Amino acid sequence: MKIPQTPTQRPHTEQQWVNGWLRSAQRIDSPNFGPRPINSVVDLVVIHSISLPPGEYGGDFVSQLFTNQLAWDAHPYFQQIRGAEVSAHFFIRRDGHLIQFVSTLDRAWHAGQSEWNGRGNCNDFSIGIELEGLEHHPFEGAQYERLRQLIWSIQAAYPTVGDVVGHSDIAPGRKEDPGRAFRWEFFD
């Protein structure tokens, strides 16, 4: 899905991005990234959902996971993900607060085993956005508004981005996020 935009809605990206970092986002550097393959073209945005522990919102557990600082013994659920080294480019909290963990010039570790339009390894050519939430819980209006603005800004910086999909679209059967509660019609 491509998020439509009118000329008056387009962000002025010249001042918004510096070396793949969005100035309006809180920056927390993750060590979980790598270089994109030479000649890769960013043309996909993947939307995810996450909460740690599942169904609990707020706190710093997601940021700690993405920066390899999560105390595995802090909650029984964390034993199930012990040792995970993952990240996303962006994380949108329930109140719309935006955090960036990885430069969009680099490959974040968000998609795992994945395929889109016959190409595997979606991390190579995508930007990953995590929404604080759970697959079957409704997301907040502030999150949708921030997501829409972020996607507009990404599309302005990367005119090649044509598709916006869910994690479930690139890893069917393995992933469900952002899930049934995600309102794709919000972007129509």
Annotated catalytic residue within 130, 132, 135, 140: 130
- Amino acid sitting at position 21: W
Question: Which residues, at least 6 apart from 122, have a Cβ–Cβ distance to it below 8 Å?
Answer: 44, 46, 111, 114, 115, 116, 170
The H-or-E segment that residue 165 falls in is strand 163-166
Can you tell me the distance from the alpha carbon of 1 to that of 17, in angstroms, rounded to the nearest whole number? Answer: 24
CB 152 within 8 A of CB 113: no
- Amino acid sitting at position 113: Q
Q: Is 125 left (phi over 0), alpha (psi -120 to 50) or beta?
A: alpha
Whether 130 is a known active-site residue: answer yes
Q: Which residues are identified as catalytic?
A: 130
